[in-house]
Structure 1
Amino acid sequence: MENKSFGITVLATSLAFVLVQLDVSIVNVALATIGVRLRTGVAGLQWVVDGYAVAFAALLLSAGGLADRIGSRVMFMAGLGGFTAASVLCGLAPSAGGLIVARVLQGAAAAALVPSSLALLSQSCGDDAARRTWGVGMWTAAGSIGLAAGPVLGGAMVQLLGWRGIFLVNLPIGLAGLWLTWRFVAATPGAETRIVGTRTDWAGQVLAVLTLLVMTGSVIEAHRLGWASWPIAGGMLLAFLLLAAFVAAERRHAEPLLPLGCFAQRSFSGAIAVGFLLNMALYGSLFVLALYFQQTRHWSAWISGIAFLPLPVVLGLANLLGRRAASWLGTPMAMTAGLLLAACGMAALRGIGAATPYPANLPGLVLIGAGIGVSVPLMTAALLGSVPKPRAGVASGALNAVRQAGGAIGVALFGGLPTHDALLVGTALLVAASAAAAGLIRTAEPAQHPAGGKATAQPICR
């Protein structure tokens, strides 16, 4: 019965993560049709994409802390229900403004879903590290396939059902995930846990949201206004000042939103660094390659989506090999090897041009998918294993907030570079991520010693 419950938890959380990642990328191929049908220009279409991304990144950290307080199951069901309802609003939107508002609501619900789903997985596997790695691998594989399959599925849906179909397809998936969670997934502890108390860190939550909102918004607009423009320079300066204020607030609060003591755990810090660098490279390279396929090769969105297929297929399969790779090599070495493999794949794509035969792209796409596919579940499992269970939600929220911010920065940075230079930067970022994995990730964190006491089985994260 316990194995069945764990399996259904993996299934329900994976379905939710498919929705979250799918709606990151599926909308891109429908933008031209949306612009015509809803009579909006480039700025309106930009915010159809950016409204989701900004709300998602800005609210992730606060959502992680809230999941720890009210219980992951409650937070997960609220987020999944909200996401499904917002998807219906997107599909029925009568205007561009209505669609943008609905996309913001989708992003906010996605922020509730991601940390609570990871926390549910972590809590359902108890102290079984191998089970945690397997569950996270399945969850990551589902999300990775959803993200990379978005352009392919979106192209097909637009052709068959129109642009509204890309949102309404979320309804049956969301309802299935809600029913599975309500029927089979056990409730999780909330505010009664020992570490998470009842004093809400309102200052930390507000400053975290503002920091991510200002930084992400500045990066998104930098491609249009230029990095040297006063609005962007001022926005980035304000973001760093808000970040400094957030750190100061967390140091003073008795029960902080993000316990800074977590960063004393090398695996926690390493996973955060790897997640940021990896997403910069991955999201930035996907953006550049999409432009290459459509603008340089002059392929349609449908054909371009098919051209990407080797990457998500291999990535999804490699997610399932992360556990075995860790058992053979150990988590640090397996992550390092995977990231170096992805760097080799990105380097192999640097020579592509307008006349490059498509088969010449395959080795690079396969290596990127294989390397990142192995690394991501190990990175996530290392982070969850470095914090006490009551902090699983806030830890996963921190990781995913940093990854989303890294992805936004990567798209803005890579979008202003030629394809050759962008892929060179991506290669360097993946090499740096491999160095962080080798230097910081540990198979097991050293036991912590409270004053005058014995070593504890769990690291202290306050």
Structure 2
Amino acid sequence: MPDVRISSPQGKWILLTTVLGSSMAMLDSTVVNVALPRIGSDLHTNLAALQWTVNAYMLTLAGLILLGGSLGDHYGRRKIFVLGVVWFAAASLLCGLAPSSGVLIAARALQGVGGALLTPGSLALIQASFHPDDRGRAVGLWSGFGGIGAAVGPFLGGWLVDGPGWRWVFLINVPVALVCAPIAVRHVPESSDGRSHGRFDVLGAVLAALALGLVTYALIEARQGSLVVAVTAVAGVAAGVAFVQVERRSPDPMMPLDIFASRQFTSVNLVTLCVYAAFGGFFFLTALQLQVAVGWTPLGAGTALLPTTVLMLLFSARSGALADRIGPRIPLTVGPLLCAAGMLLMLRVGPGASYVRDVLPAVLVLGVGMVTLVAPLTATVLGSVDTARAGLASGINNAAARAAGLIAVAALPLLAGMGPEAYRSAAAFNDAFHQAMIICAGVLVVGSAVAFATVRSLPAGCRHPECRTHGSVTAPPLEGQRAAKLPATAERTPRGG
């Protein structure tokens, strides 16, 4: 039985290394957006390459994150976590030294693999290491510090791009990993799931990543209208169908399809797809708009978006408490509408825009909408399935959110009419950005309608500490793979110190 107390030196070391590890992956999901114009300028590349710079990371992370949690359960959570940290740092070094956009995109895909290994492991280590009486507080601290990291991310990214250069957005992960990995090896006890049988749904993971990758390629390259693009699109759909068939027949599927027998779970995931598609498109394009069209520095663009994560950090607990009293249906209906209003307010943002008059009102309304919906959404996902499957449900929801953002970054420039060189022209990018904001707002309205029509008004019960201090804008908080099965005397087998 895990017995580490949070007040002990070992407990503090465990918190430090898990926060450092998860923060690396979380920061790279946000800070890179701020660096994109400089990357494009320095590497002499077009908009499609900038889309792939974001999506290559999201592709492997979304496709492999469920598999990463399973590997940790079987082979040892500390071992897989440390492997993920080292892998992530090595890929970050390659990103920082990349001589061309092609190398950078490949390195970003490798970064996503490292993120898929360390992201589920960071929370699972806390769940497996701390005494049951301290576990909730430890998760809350982990989530809170991670939220602060997410809030600081765009500001830090802008400062690095304006200062030593965009390459340091990636290179900064190397010293963090050099601190994180040795602490984990020395101070974090090894643990695993004693009931893990060692059979992994590798084929399912490969098909999921292949489907997302092929569809993403087809959307990004669709402007060419070539036969290759059409064939790729069909192949992507075929890979998706094959993934469903494999999951249906596999004795140990990565994503058991029977979990969608819960109408509430299915409904909330549909809302998640709409909401995080809009968020993914918004944060990708807004970081570009504030620099390309408005003319701000990377630091100014990164700082401009800070209120959204600050609001989530300050008020997520109250939002969760409200949803616990009134049920999730109203928050999940009203929240997306507020976010849509925030995105429509971004139509005022263009050349010569004022932060206080034009940008801040939009960001504040968007932040209030995110506060209203994110904690209830997460709590409803966890409450819509049996307790024993809460970790699986959270993993699926997290992967769905990342996949939605991936598709949005690929599709929005196409739908908004952005040409390959649009980010080099303030006028052209501004017009397309406004079109994209209208599309994002429409997707959010669809998400609101889905929530109103299908989500039941049962108490959401946001009792999971990671729901209360959540600051990430890229995906819902990830519940530990086996977090719901407490106490853990039969579930986790500590091994060594």
TM-score (normalizing by structure 1): 0.79
Determine the structure 2 residue equivalent to 1:161. Answer: 164
Partners of 2:248 and 2:296 in 1: CA distance: 52
Q: Partner residue of 1:22?
A: 27
Identity percentage of aligned residues: 36
Distance 1:356 1:206, change over 3 A: closer
Deviation at 1:53, TM superposition (A): 3.1
Other-structure match for 1:425: 439
Aligned-pair CA distance for 1:424: 2.6
Deviation at 1:248, TM superposition (A): 1.4
- 1:269-288 superposed Cα distances (whole Å, 9 cap, x missing partner): 23422322111111212233
User: Per the alignment, in what secondary structure is the counterpart of residue 214 of structure 1?
Assistant: helix
Q: Is the 8 A contact 1:144 1:316 kept in 2?
A: no
| Mapped contact 1:91–1:165 kept (Cα < 8 A) | yes
The corresponding residue for 1:448 is none
Kindly provide the amino acid, as one letter, of the partner of residue 270 in structure 1: S
Q: Separation in 2 of the partners of 1:372 and 1:49?
A: 22
Rounded to whole Å, the distance in 2 between the matches of 1:187 and 1:383 is 29
For 2:369, what is the secondary structure of its paired residue? Answer: helix
| 1:58-77 mapped onto 2 (5 Å cutoff) | 58-77=63-82
C-alpha change, 1:171 and 1:295, in structure 2 (3 Å) is closer
Cα separation, partners in 2 of 1:353 and 1:90, compared to 1, 3 Å: closer
Residues in 2 aligned to 1:248 and 1:158: alpha-carbon distance in whole angstroms: 45
Q: Which moved more, 1:235-244 or 1:127-136?
A: 127-136
Q: CA deviation at 1:250?
A: 1.6
CA positional deviation for 1:368: 1.0
Q: Secondary structure at the match of 1:161?
A: coil
Which sections of structure 2, spanning at least 5 residues, go unmatched?
417-431, 462-483, 486-497
Structure 1 unaligned regions, length at least 5: 446-456
The letter of the residue matching 2:274 is L
Aligned residue number for residue 208 of structure 2: 208
Asked whether the equivalents of residues 204 and 246 of structure 2 are also in contact (C-alpha less than 8 Å), the reply is: yes
Q: Which residue identity does 2:147 align to in structure 1? A: A
TM-superposition CA deviations, 1:423-443 (whole Å, max 9, x none):
232223223333444533654
Question: What SS class does the counterpart of residue 163 from structure 2 fall into?
Answer: helix
The 3 A distance-change label for structure 1 pair 332 and 53 is: same
Summarize the Cα distance change of 1:363–1:34 in structure 2 as closer, same or farther, 3 Å threshold: closer
Matched, 1:304 2:310: no
Deviation at 1:366, TM superposition (A): 0.8
**Whole-Å separation in 1 of the counterparts to 2:71 and 2:182:** 22
Q: State the match for 2:283 in structure 1.
A: 286
SS in 2 for 1:277: helix
Structure 2 residue 490 is matched with structure 1 residue 440: no
- Pair 1:100–1:247, CA change in 2 (3 A): closer
Moved more, 400-409 or 23-32: 23-32
Q: CA deviation at 1:407?
A: 0.8
Change (3 A) 1:135 1:380: farther
Aligned match of 1:452: none
Cα deviation for residue 239 of structure 1 reads: 1.9
Amino acid at match of 2:399: A
Contact residue 161 and residue 299 of structure 2 kept, 8 A: no
| 2:370 is the counterpart of 1:372 | yes
Corresponding pairs, count? 437
Equivalent in 117, 133, 143 of residue 112 of structure 1: 117
Instruction: State how far apart, in whole Å, the 2-side matches of 1:30 and 1:348 are.
Output: 24
Task: Work out whether residues 6 and 138 of structure 2, in 8 Å CA contact, stay in contact via their aligned partners in 1.
Answer: no
CA distance in 2, matches of 1:369, 1:71: 38
Structure 1: distance between partners of 2:169 and 2:265: 36
Give SS of 1:189's match: strand
Q: 1:23 to 1:407 in 2, by over 3 A?
A: same
The question of 1:240 aligning with 2:237 is answered yes
Please give the TM-score of this superposition, normalised by the length of structure 2.
Answer: 0.74
Alignment deviations for residues 181-232 of structure 1 (CA, whole Å, 9 cap, x no partner): 4455554433x32xx534333432332222222223333334x53xx65444
Which one of the candidate residues 147, 152, 156 is aligned to 1:141? Answer: 147
Inter-partner Cα distance in structure 2 for 1:310 and 1:75: 34
CA drift at 1:109: 0.5
Structure 1 position 53 matched with structure 2 position 53: no
How far is 1:46 from its partner?
5.6
Which residue number in structure 1 is paired with residue 492 of structure 2? Answer: none
Q: Would you say the 8 A contact 1:132–1:381 is kept in 2?
A: no
Aligned to 2:470: none
Distance 1:233 1:211 in 2: 14
Displacement of 1:174 in angstroms is 2.9
The secondary structure found in structure 2 opposite 1:80 is: helix
Moved more, 385-394 or 409-418: 385-394
Query: d(CA) in 2 for partners of 1:427 and 1:372?
Result: 13
Q: Secondary structure at the match of 1:257?
A: coil
Q: 1:371 to 1:33 in 2, by over 3 A?
A: closer
Q: 1:413 to 1:44 in 2, by over 3 A?
A: closer
Q: Which moved more, 1:349-358 or 1:403-412?
A: 349-358
Q: Cα–Cα, structure 1 residues 357 and 10, in superposed 2: closer, same or farther, change >3 Å?
A: same
Cα distance change on mapping 1:267 and 1:72 into 2, 3 Å: farther
2:311 corresponds, among 302, 314, 320, to: 314
Letter in 1 for 2:455: L
SS in 1 for 2:29: helix
- What residue identity is the alignment partner of 1:145? A
Q: Distance in 2 between matches of 1:125 and 1:350?
A: 51
The answer for the alignment partner of 1:449 in structure 2 is: none
1:117-136 → structure 2 map (5 Å cutoff): 117-120=122-125, 134=140
1:265 paired to 2:262: yes
- Tell me which residue corresponds to 1:189: 192
Structure 1 residues 173 and 392: alpha-carbon distance in aligned structure 2, compared to 1, 3 A threshold:
farther
Query: Do the aligned residues in 1 keep the contact of 2:86 with 2:181 (CA within 8 Å)?
Result: yes
Structure 1 residue 108: deviation in Å?
A: 1.0
1:453 maps to which residue? none
